[in-house]
Amino acid sequence: MTINLLKKIEYIYQKKLYLIYFLFLIFVIMSSLVYGYVHLHKIAYYFNDNNQIILSKIPFGYGPLIDNLYYNNKYEQKWFYDEVFEGVQSYLVRLPLLPLLIVAISKISLNFYIFIVLKNLIFLSLFFFVSHYSVKSLNNNYINFLALLFIIFYNYYNFIVILNFVYSDAIIAILLPSIFLILISNIKKKSILISIFLFFLFFTKTTMFFLTITISILFFFLNKKINIIKRLLPISSILIAILIWGSFGYIKTGKFPFVSGMVSNNQEALSIVMNKEFHNYYPKLSVDLIPKIKIKEKFSSEWEYYEHYKKINSEYITKNKERIFKDILIKIKFILFNYRKDQVSPDENGNYENPIMISHIVNRMVFIASLFFLFKNLLINTKTFKFKNIDLYYFFIICFSLIPHVIGWASSKHLVPIFLISHIYLFFRMNFLKNQNN
C-alpha cells in the first residue's frame, strides 16, 4: 500500500505538478491569513481599524520612506531625529528592495490580509519553482523536492520570519537559499538566474554587499564549462547594481555610497556595538535599549551624521580593543549555541523572560552538523585540492554572511537565511549529491 502511494505521488510530481502547486498555494494562503490575524492583534500600532497598513508607522526606519514613496513618489524622508536635523531630507538610509516591494503590493491593496497573502505567494512560489527545477536538473526525485519544501515550513521560527514583511531578512530568507539551490544544480540558464537573484539580493541589506560579490566571483571560477560571457553575467549584474545605487546617491547627496557607506546610517548602527554597555544587554535584551550618547551639535546633511559616528566608532576601536574582542566571542557564542529567545524588551515593570526555543535548538544542531560535514569534506580534499562546488559555495556563503554579524551583531532573525542554507546543504550532502561533482 505504501509503495502504491509513493508511485501515485511520483506520478503527480512527474505529470501533474500543478496539483502539488495548488495544494501549496492553499497552504501558503492559510498560513498567511493565520499569521495576519495574529500579527494584527499582537502588533496593532501600524494598522488602522479597517485592518489597513499605516505605512508611515512601519518600523525599523522604513515607515516615513515608504509613506513618502507611496503617496508622493519620492524616495526620500526626513531624518529620524528632528532634534539634530532641521528639515534635512535623507535619501540613503535604507536600501530600496523592501520599500519598493511594500509600495508595489500596497498599490494593489493596503488591507493587511490581502497584502501579506500576496507577498508570501510571490516569494514562496519563487522558492517552490526554484526547488522543483533544481531537483529536476539533478535527479528528478519528488522526495527531495518535497523535503526542500518541508525545510522551509517545518521550523516554526524560520517560517514566521519568512512570513513577515517589516524587515529585509524575510526576503533574504527566500532569495539566498534559492541562490544556493541554483548554484548547486544543473538548471538551465543558471547564469541568467543567478544574475537576477544576486541583483535583487544586493538591494536588501548592506550585509549582502561582499556576499553578492563573492558569489558572483565564485560562479565565474567554478563554472568553467559555461561560456565566459555567461560566467561574467553575475559579476556584471552586481556592478550594475553598484552603479545604480551609487549614481542615485551621488545625484541626491553629492557622494557615491559604497561598501560601509552604502547607507548613511551605517555608522550609527555600528555605534550600538561600539559601546561599553553592549555586553550587558546583548543577546538577552534588545540592543535598542542600550543608552546612546546624546548629540549636541546640528547636522546639515546625512553624511555629516555618518562622519560624526564614524569618528566616534574609530575612537572606541582604538581605546577598547580588549572589550571588542570579548564582545566578538559573545556574538560567536550566540551564533553557534544560543537556544533562548533573544533581543527581548522588558515589560512596564522592568521584567523580561528569555524562554528556551525549540526552533533555535534545532537550527543550531543542523548548523553545527553542517559545519562538521563541511570541514570534514574540505579536509578530505585538501591533499588533492579538488574541492566540490557545493562545499565551496556553502563555505563562502556562510563566511561572508557571518562576518558582518560578527563585526556588528546578530539576532535570531538575521541568522534564518544561514540556517536554511545549512539545512539544504546538510540534506544534499548526506543525500543525492554526495557522489556528484557538484
Please give the Cα distance from 106 to 265 (Å, whole number): 26
Is 158 buried (19+), middle (13-18) or exposed (0-12) by CB count in 10 A? buried
SS3 state at 384: coil
Q: Are 55 and 70 in contact (CB under 8 A)?
A: yes
Find, among 357, 350, 373, 358, the residue nearest to 424 by Cα.
Answer: 373
Please give the Cα distance from 336 to 163 (Å, whole number): 24
What's the pLDDT at 79?
67
Q: Where are the alpha helices (DSSP H) in 184-301?
A: 190-202, 209-222, 228-253, 266-271, 278-281
- Location of C-alpha cell 519568512: 162
* Cα–Cα separations (whole angstroms), residue 202 to 50, 176, 207: 35, 11, 9
What's the pLDDT at 85?
66
Please give the Cα distance from 79 to 72 (Å, whole number): 17
Asked if the structure places residue 200 within a domain, the reply is: yes
- Location of C-alpha cell 549584474: 237
What's the pLDDT at 11?
63
C-alpha cell at 265: 546610517
User: Mean pLDDT of successive 10-residue segments in the chain (438 residues)?
Assistant: 60 73 96 95 88 94 93 86 69 95 97 97 97 88 88 96 96 98 94 97 96 97 92 97 97 93 91 94 92 79 90 94 96 97 88 94 97 91 82 96 95 97 93 52
What's the pLDDT at 349?
81
Asked if the structure places residue 143 within a domain, the reply is: yes
Asked if the structure places residue 133 within a domain, the reply is: yes
CA angle (79 as vertex; 205, 308 as ends), nearest 5: 80
Within the chain, what is the greatest distance between any pair of CA atoms?
Answer: 76
In tens, the pLDDT along 90-106 reads 899 999 999 999 999 99
Asked if the structure places residue 294 within a domain, the reply is: no
DSSP-assigned letter for residue 286:
-
C-alpha cell at 394: 556553502
Which distant-in-sequence residues (6+ apart) come within 8 Å of 426 by Cβ? 366, 369, 370, 373
What are the respective helix, strand and coil percentages of the chain, to the nearest 5?
A: 65, 5, 30
Asked if the structure places residue 242 within a domain, the reply is: yes
In tens, the pLDDT along 52-89 reads 999 999 998 899 999 999 999 999 987 655 566 666 78
Asked if the structure places residue 410 within a domain, the reply is: no
C-alpha cell at 43: 502588533
Q: Are 336 and 283 in contact (CB under 8 A)?
A: no
The DSSP element (H or E) to which 89 belongs, if any, is: strand 89-90
Asked if the structure places residue 289 within a domain, the reply is: no
Find, among 240, 230, 241, the residue nearest to 188 by Cα.
Answer: 230
Q: Are 65 and 75 in contact (CB under 8 A)?
A: yes
Domain that holds residue 59: 2-253
Give φ, ψ of 345 to 5 degrees.
-115, 140
Per-residue buried b or exposed e for 114-149, using 16+ beta carbons within 10 Å of the residue's own CB: bbbbbbbbebbeebbebbbbbbbbbeeebebbebbb
CA angle (62 as vertex; 277, 178 as ends), nearest 5: 95
C-alpha cell at 388: 566540490
Domains: count for the chain: 1
DSSP-assigned letter for residue 152:
H
C-alpha cell at 363: 537550527
